[in-house]
Structure 1
Amino acid sequence: MVWDELNHRVKEKQPTSAQHMLEFLQDLIGAPKANTSQFNITEGGSVYFCPWSLGQSECHNIEFDNQGDRIVTVSGTDYQAEVKSHQWFGATIRLCPLYSWRTKAEKPQSDTTGTCYLSVKNFTKFVEYAPCRLSNTMDCKHMISLMILSLSLLLSLSRFQDGKVVLGGPGSFFWQGQVISAAKEEIIKAYYPGYFMQSVEGQTQTRQAQIKYDDSYHGKTFLSRNSITPVIPLLSKHMGSYFGYTVSTADINNDGMSDLLVGAPMYMTRGSDGRLEEVGRVYLYLQRGPLDLEPTLNLTGTQVFGRFGSTIAPLGDLNLDGYNDLAISCPFGGEDQQGLVLIYNGFAGGLRNTPSQVIAGQWASGTVPASFGFSLRGAKDQDMNGYPDLIVGAFGVDKAILYRSRPIVNTSASLTVYPTMINPEEKVCHVNLSFCLSANGKYLPDNLGFLVEVQLDHLKHMQKGGVKRALFVDSQQAMLQRSVRVRSGERVCHETKIYLRVSEFRDKLSSIYISLNFSLDPQAAFDSHGLRPILNYKTTELIEQKAQILLDCGEDNICVPDLKLAVHGDRKEVYLGDDNLLTLTFNARNEGEGGAYEAELYVLLPPEADYSGIARNNEVRLTCSYEAENQTRYLSCDLGNPMKSGTSLWAGLRFTVPRLKDTRKTVQFELQIRSKNENNSHSEVVPYKLEVVVQADVILQGVSRPDKVFFPPPNWKVSKTPQEEQDIGPVIQHVYELVNKGPSGISHTVLQLSCPLSVQGQGLLYPLEMSTEGPLNCTTNHSINYLQLKVSSQLLACLWMYDKVMTKCVPSLQVVTPLVWNKQDSQYSVPLWIIILAILAGLLLLALLIYVLYKLGFFKRSLPYGTAMEKAQLKPQAASEA
């Protein structure tokens, strides 16, 4: 329900009056902390009459009591018998709940007994009734009102209306509680100004019970017709929930019997963290027979410390559907604790469990909470527009607000689409569309304005790029807006056309949704009461229809594909440390009876792989897109729209797998054909696994510098106390290099070096120094340079590859340094005569050889062409050749 707002602010007319307004009765507003003209009384409280006519917001004070505290003379001594200051007169528009009376002259303090005022003859006469004021035996303290001037409201549970006044005293008899009842006519007849009336004719009251009933706070209960004996004891199982803080009755389900609502504003429930939270609750009891109450519904508040259920007010039939509605306050709810009032609608089953409207206060919580909704009153048509209104009190800001009910419009709408099956093969794909509106209701203006909006593909997820599949013919847009005028009780229709954009979209399978949304024109004219109508909260304001695209799928227009996928790769292994080029060739087939619409090859990539492109030797032209969602990366390739029955496609995709880790033994691609068909839309997932393999080409090589050593060196002498490396012998440097040509790395590799340090017990090599390059750690089982010689060169050097992945055995390597021994001078040298004799013998042997050759003619000159005969034989030949 939507309301129009008027408000009264008593403080503007009476600057010293109401600090808090708690409750009002139709045009009466209580100001329990208002200052009055009573002599020597502070914040005695007052009641104001506030007419709610349009344009009038002036409130007038009603003087129920214009006297100050009364003085009583006892044994010649005057003493103050009453305490009217801070008595909260007007707290309930019924009584002064904190009115105090001194029951004994010798007592310095006063007892809070409460008192009640009744108006007679349209506020021209006022009657006071305070049955506990002079009672010493009843001890009825803290008298509050249950039913003053409204007993028939509660007794309507039994369909009794006898005009009795019933008072509740929860503090009586050590807080056992007490109920006192008397007829209104007897109170008026017995009243005399200045006379302290203790009881009236026919007055009845409950008596003190056993001690076990102490602190039971009796005084809020329901009574039979002829006695005040409790007949319906309603108990709450939730300690401290203030069950019964507020009570109200109304015929919610329109069965002719009043139903009961009980508020428990401090009811607690457990929140999401398991802790108890105070949210409040309202209990509904439907009356199935005389005084037969059936618990039907529990409404639980949602605002922590909001005090849901502090006030309950019957509103009458707000939407004129034949069932009474209800307002429940949550005075400290809302984001800024501005207060909330929730409207619940009745129906045949009782009360609906969700509010049809939530009214929020306009004032955020300050030093004093606004307490919007602390008091409520409804069920009266203040502006006479045919609908009941609601009055809300906000005592923290000294305001009472009138919410006027606006006229309710019952609207029905229809949307028609023809044809509902569109053939995309037709050149002109027009669809007829029409919508109709009708409106009716009570006390409505003659003409109602509506805003109508029709959208195409409104609820569909658009394809990439957001292209609408259908447009209106006249506007070339996907939305149509119209302003429509409807006379109350009539029906208005409009027609238009839409067309299908066949070549510009992919989604041919799903229906085209058409939605109609309508609302009342907010700029429409006011009615005769200055109000704009509103739609019934039950109105369905969104209507949808759909049109299907005709598919090549038989008479039922349902395509059922049968998708098959086969995958082959050009390798089965991938190597750690390599880029690992991979080509996956796939065969996609549709062996079903219908086409696969928006068919795509879906490739889920492992985290180690990257997509690099489409193989060039494809039989078909493939279009693929590479996408990532969170940590998932996938490839989507278009296979046709539709991929017709009998289709068989071969194509290849290229990938790299560079980010391999030694923690995984395999990497896996997953491939699947997916379509948008409703039935059998996917193929089976085909995995393609690759084994993770380590492949390393490790080479160990070494060299000796110098490549040959002559020993002993010239002029070398053995030193008994060597100081430098030359004193030991010639220097030998061995360089070893370990090379990994990959692609995989190696790790945990050990290079063992063995050197022949001695031969037959005699020292051969002296380890002088070890030098390394690279991330390695070298150790030895023999002391290095244990004589601490001065080093000028290196004995051993190692070049090392970095650690990476694996352990691998490398063939052994021998680096050999040949050792050539030089002979020293000996005492056994060859005599000189032997040397001379050897030279002479050699010369003699040479002479003898020359002589022999001479004799044999070796030294004679020979002609180049032989004999003269030979020359003659050669001449003709030479001549002929010439």
Structure 2
Amino acid sequence: MAGFWLFLLVGRLLAPGSAFNLDVESPTVYSGSEGSYFGFAVDFFAPDLSSMFLLVGAPKANTTQPGIVQGGQVLKCNWNPNRRNCQPIVFDATGNRDFAKNDPLEFKSHQWFGASVRSKDDKILACAPLYHWRTEQKAEREPVGTCYLHDGSKAFEYAPCRSSQLISDKVAEIVSKYNPKVYTTKYDSQLATRSANAAFDDSYLGYSVAVGDFSHDGIEDFVSGVPRAARTLGMVSIYNGDTMASMYNFTGEQMAAYFGYSVAATDINGDDYTDLLIGAPLFMDRGSDGKLLEVGQVSVYLQQATGGFQSQAMKLNGFEVFARFSSSIAPLGDLDQDGYNDIAVAAPYGGEDKKGLVYIYNGRATGLNGMPSQVLEGQWASETMPPSFGYSLKGATDVDKNGYPVTLFCLPLGSFQRARPVITVNAGLEVTPTILNPEDKSCELNENGQKVSCFKVKFCLKADGKGSLPRDLTFHVELLLDKLKQKGAIRRALFLHNRQPVHSKNMTVPKGGRMSCEELQAFLRDDSEFRDKLTPITIFMEYQLDYKTAMDSTGLQPILNQFTPANVSRQAHILLDCGEDNVCRPDLQVAVDSDQKQIYIGDENPLTLVVNAENLGEGAYEAELFVTVPPQADFIGIVRNKEDLARLSCAFKTENKTRLVVCDLGNPMKAGTKLSAGLHFSVHQESEMDTFVKFDLQIRSSNMYNNLSPVTSYQVDLAILAVVEIRGVSSPDHLFLPIPNWQPKENPETEDDIGPLVQHIYELRNNGPSAVSKVMLNLQWPYKYNNNTLLYIMEYEIEGPMNCTSDMEINPLKIKVNEKNETTNGGDSRSHNVNRRDLSAAEGDVQTLGCGTAECLKIFCQVGRLEREKTAILYLKSRLWTQTFMNKENQNHSYSLKSSASFSVIEFPYKNLSFPEDVHNSTIVTTNILWGIQPAPMTVQVWVIILAVLAGLLLLALLVFIMYRVSGVFNES
């Protein structure tokens, strides 16, 4: 069976895929009495070759000792997951020993027996560090501590501090000299450090211990942590295992970091020399914000073959604040079977809800891997104390003799997990041939005899591993052709048997046997079905172990070696017409021209670029013309009505906010190819600062070499052109006097009291193509002549971006304006307009009254921005001052009343561009006043209407008769 790992709190995987061979899916759980601190100390116990147990200390457990409260105990647990019971081992069944009644010699309550547990062969040593005793002469209690040695049948007390002797290295002497009635046994063989002066009191010498050969003499030396030495910098000392002489001292670098809180010794880099690991769980490091954070640290010192250690220690910092990273460190042995020992480092207050974390670090030739390969997190909280998962660790023991070491992770609640057997797989993949000739079509695709170009794919597997593994291992194998093509893209190769790019199957491989291989046929699609002929076709093989068929009788599943990739790939290339090396080196050139050197802003006529593309080298695959379209332009399409220009397939797209027109030039664009094409663009000004529009052109291909042409640019200048015109009209353009039934009033009150309506309408129009931003419009209106009013302005209206002012008051007499505006085509209620007039009496007697002869009112208007085809209109509503023209001296005369308007363009909305000069014009609007008789409307006689109706009916009958005769002739035919 596979080896076991004991976690006295379940460990679970934090980062999927980062763990290696711990079976974290099905832990076996142990538990002790509530509040007993079950799991405070642990060890393996193998009294003989056929037995294996777990020793678990519970230092606050209650026992059957009379009169003792929480004396503590050590339990022996069966490591078999099917029989996980724990039984206490009896080391001491007695209560306190007394000098006399009610005068105790020792104090076993709360002594924390089981706080430390160690075993070797059939011997178990368990200690109670808070055991107290006193002498008969002194009443003070002394916390000297005590230990018990159990040899399988009896227990022997060993209290070196009570006897003033520190270490005895002979178990036989402890057993032989033990006498329960003698409290201060003297031992002959002992080892002790030299006494230090009072300055070294409270430095905590011996706070942590480890052993290892650091003198190259084959004798294990002693390592002791002294976390409060050197003014709280902390120290670790190594003592010679034979003489207890000091050999090496390591001093911490940060005060109060508790350097030496934990120590461990093991060979990390596989050079057969013991290396040293020192923990400082209160070490502080600066975070990204520069503040000091307590993260903990492990220092790794590698021993050299020449003696001593490397001068520069490797540092491993913790990952969480206040997690107490490095509170315990344990060598694990070669967990992943790579030839280097691994270690576990605990952060008992890390993880979710501070349940504790244990990090697994793998050894390597250069030292310890800087990142953990596995992180385990405690899952269960304790109600009486912090969970502290990993508070104590024990490892590097092959429990079930299967080649995998076992490690214990401890807490006041327990579970263990087994190490999963590691399977190492060698995978092979071959493609024949690796150069695929699309013209060599030697395989038949279907029953119709369609020929295709084929190649062979051979895939192989070989597997081996330690531990309890079945004779045959089953793997799920998947092969994928053209792996690098994105999902949804056309795969250029397919398997012949299923016409799919994927093949899956289960493959059985004998454990430790030879390579197991299979071979498949694949084919290349017709080159008309895909564009990419340059990039290699990647054949990808991936395999997965069938864990259910590989697990042992207890349900333990093996795992694949994480250092061996679970996939393999090979590449095949399509044969190209590129010479012997099958590598095409094109020579791409592009040129551009246009008959338009400048573009008027707003002009709707497209800009046409004529592009000449040429390949002077070898074939260019997936050749495309890329035109970078500036923000001032939009792509319209290609030129199709010229025979000398190629009709390319072009599309507009955006890449990384760059607007492009991409045109296909061929796949391949063969050597010597010359292409000319026309591209239409509309151009506008994106910003008022723009003065030109620039296009960048380049040919790109998917070739490995010379895949780009030089970038060619074409620049067209922007210019301004605005054709602005002004038009005017009078409504009505003629008025006849005298007006029937009209009588003058000395003080007119309404518009009709003055005379008929006369409107002059001026329209300012920008025919473009460019816009104007400021136009000055000036109007002159014939107002008076010889102190007599001519046209009395009632009001004016504007339409469009225009503001106007006048040099005189409008409607100074405050004549009431009609609420309903009269249309330009209508008159007042007395309708003075006519369709025809009799000019015979006044044709030669017309007097012009304009601003040259009459007194004029002036109106000044400022027109704002006018885009192309936009207008600004000024409506002037006036009344003919009829009384002026009804005077005797003015009767029987005709008059021509003329208003005039002129404009000048002042500004254009374009900066950095030259303005056109002298954009101005003017116009005159005339209203004719004629003296004569208004003719009556002409009428049509009734007999004329009747005659026209009869003639129409006769013509209709004649047409019907002709159509009838024609249809009859066709029927006979």
TM-score (norm 2): 0.68
Q: Is the 8 A contact 2:720 2:770 kept in 1?
A: yes
Q: Structure 1 residues 88 and 595 mapped into 2: Cα distance closer, same or farther (>3 Å)?
A: farther
Q: What does the per-residue CA deviation read over 1:536-585, in whole Å, with 9 as the maximum and x for residues that have no partner?
A: 33323322221211111111111100011122345444444454533333
Equivalent in 19, 40, 44 of residue 22 of structure 1: 40
Q: Matched residue of 1:210: which SS?
A: helix
Please report the RMSD computed on the Cα atoms of aligned residues, expressed in angstroms.
4.4
Question: Please, which of 289, 294, 300 is the counterpart of residue 284 of structure 1?
Answer: 300
* Matched-pair contact (CA < 8 Å) for 1:740–1:801: no
One-letter amino acid of the counterpart of residue 400, structure 1: S
2:577 maps to amino acid: D
1:811 aligns with 2:923: no
In structure 2, the CA distance between the partners of 1:668 and 1:550, relative to structure 1 (3 Å rule), is same
Separation (CA, whole Å) in 2 of partners of 1:305 and 1:89: 27
Query: Structure 1 pair 513/645, CA: closer, same or farther in 2 (3 Å)?
Result: same
1:817/1:535 CA distance change after superposition, 3 Å: closer
Residues 398-409 of structure 1 correspond to what in structure 2 (within 5 A)?
398-406=413-421, 408-409=422-423
Does the Cα contact within 8 Å between 1:734 and 1:797 map onto a contact in 2? no
Deviations 1:448-474 (A, max 9, x none): 324253534454234x95221112222
Q: Partner amino acid for 1:234?
A: F
Letter aligned with residue 197 of structure 2: Q
Question: What residue is the counterpart of 1:245 in the other structure?
Answer: 261
2:566 is equivalent to residue 541 of structure 1:
yes
Alignment of 1:258-297 (within 5 A): 258-289=274-305, 292-294=308-310, 295-297=312-314
Q: Structure 2: which amino acid aligns with 1:3?
A: L
The residue type paired with residue 416 of structure 2 is: I
| Aligned partner of 2:332 among 300, 315, 323 | 315
* TM-score (normalised: structure 1): 0.75
Q: Is 690-699 or 258-267 further displaced after alignment?
A: 690-699
Residues 574-618 of structure 1, C-alpha deviations (whole Å, 9 max, x = no match): 4444545333332211001x1001111222333444433332236
Partner of 1:326: 343
Structure with bigger RCO (C-alpha 8 Å, 6+ apart):
2
Match of residue 508, structure 2, among 440, 459, 484 = 484
User: For each residue in 1:235-268, what CA deviation from the matched residue of structure 2 results, as whole angstroms up to 9, or x when unmatched?
Assistant: 2324444332221111223333211111233444
* Matches of 1:620 and 1:816, distance apart in 2: 56
**Contact 2:482/2:492, CA 8 A, preserved across alignment:** no
Once the two structures are superposed, what CA deviation does each residue of 1:362-421 show, in whole Å capped at 9, x if it has no partner? 5479996644333322221222323222222243xx113142342x33332322222221
In the aligned structure 2, how far is the partner of 1:42 from the partner of 1:351?
Answer: 45
Consecutive unaligned residues in structure 2, runs of 5 or more: 1-19, 45-53, 119-125, 204-227, 443-452, 822-856, 868-905, 909-917, 932-973
Deviates more, 1:62-71 or 1:709-718: 709-718
Rounded to whole Å, the distance in 2 between the matches of 1:7 and 1:105 is: 54
The whole-number CA distance in structure 1 between the counterparts of 2:394 and 2:582 is 61
Structure 1 residue identity aligned to 2:263: V
CA deviation vs aligned residue, 1:415-456 (integer Å, no higher than 9, x gap): 222222121111222222323333344456462324253534
Task: Identify the residue that residue 611 of structure 2 maps to in structure 1.
Answer: 586
Question: CA 1:65–1:755 in structure 2 vs 1: closer, same or farther (change >3 Å)?
Answer: farther
Correspondences of 1:102-141 after superposition (within 5 Å): 113=143, 115-122=145-152, 124-129=154-159, 131=161
Rate the CA distance shift 1:79–1:369 in 2: closer, same or farther, 3 A. Answer: closer
**Matched-pair contact (CA < 8 Å) for 2:131–2:146:** no
Q: Secondary structure at the match of 1:524?
A: helix
Report the number of matched residues.
Answer: 766
Change (3 A) 1:87 1:584: same
User: What is the Cα deviation at residue 57 of structure 1?
Assistant: 0.6
In 2, are the aligned partners of 1:48 and 1:60 still within 8 Å (CA)?
A: yes
CA contact (8 A) 1:191 1:197 kept: no
| Shift in Å, 1:683 | 1.0
Return the offset for 1:343. 3.0
- The CA deviation at 1:322 is 3.5
Q: What's the CA shift for 1:505? A: 1.9
C-alpha distance in 2, partners of 1:393/1:644? 73
- Structure 2: distance between partners of 1:88 and 1:731: 123
Residues 652-671 of structure 1 aligned to structure 2 (within 5 Å)? 652-657=678-683, 660-671=686-697
Partner Cα distance (1:604, 1:53) in 2: 73
Query: Hey, what's the Cα distance between the residues in 2 that align with 1:344 and 1:552?
Result: 54
> The residue matched to 1:523 in structure 2 has which SS?
helix
Match of 2:797 among 771, 776, 789: 771
SS in structure 1 at match of 2:248:
coil
The CA distance in 1 between the partners of 2:464 and 2:757, in whole Å, is 118
Letter in 2 for 1:426: D
Q: State which of 593, 607, 619 in structure 2 corresponds to 1:568.
A: 593
- Aligned partners of 2:304, 2:371: CA distance in 1, in Å? 23
Match of 1:391 among 399, 404, 408: 408
Among 167, 184, 197, the residue aligned to 1:208:
197
* CA distance in 2 between partners of 1:751 and 1:642 (Å): 64
Q: Which amino acid aligns with 2:515?
A: R
CA distance in 2 between partners of 1:114 and 1:220 (Å): 24
Select between 358-367 and 425-434 the one with higher mean Cα deviation: 358-367
Which residue of 1 is the match for residue 708 of structure 2? Answer: 682
Q: In 1, are the aligned partners of 2:620 and 2:703 still within 8 Å (CA)?
A: yes
Identity of aligned residues (%): 40
8 Å contact kept, 1:773–1:799: no
Measure how far apart 1:58 and its partner are.
Answer: 0.8
Match of 2:180 in 1: 193
Q: Distance in 1 between matches of 2:638 and 2:928?
A: 64
Change in CA separation of 1:165 and 1:321 when aligned onto 2, cut-off 3 Å: farther
Secondary structure, in 3 states, of the residue corresponding to 1:681?
Answer: coil
Which ranges in structure 1 are unaligned for 5 or more consecutive residues?
A: 136-163, 167-180, 823-882
Aligned residue among 437, 447, 450 for 2:461 = 437
**Amino acid in the other structure paired with 1:53:** N
2:600 and 2:721 in contact (8 A); partners too: yes
Specify whether residues 29 and 228 from structure 1 end up closer, same or farther in structure 2 by C-alpha distance, changes over 3 A only. Answer: same
Residue 63 of structure 1 is matched in structure 2 by 90
Looking at structure 2, the residues matched to 367 and 634 of structure 1 have their Cα atoms a distance apart, in angstroms, of 69
Give the whole-Å Cα distance in 2 for the aligned partners of 1:205 and 1:97: 22
Give 1:803's aligned amino acid. Answer: R
- The residue aligned with 2:542 is 517
Contact 1:345/1:355 (8 A) holds in 2: yes
Bigger shift: residues 676-685 or 385-394: 385-394
1:31 corresponds to which residue?
A: 58
- Would the aligned equivalents of 1:446 and 1:488 in 2 still touch at CA under 8 Å? no
Moved more, 191-200 or 627-636: 191-200
Counterpart residue type for residue 388 of structure 1:
P
Q: For residue 952 of structure 2, what is the aligned residue in structure 1? A: none
Return the alpha-carbon distance in structure 1 between the equivalents of residues 131 and 235 of structure 2: 18
**1:3 matches 2:30:** no
Q: Do residues 417 (structure 1) and 409 (structure 2) align? A: no
Give 2:907's aligned amino acid.
Answer: T
CA distance in 1, matches of 2:306, 2:78: 38
Q: Which amino acid aligns with 2:485?
A: H
- Verify the 8 A CA contact 1:64 1:117 in the aligned structure 2: no
Report the equivalent of 1:234.
Answer: 250
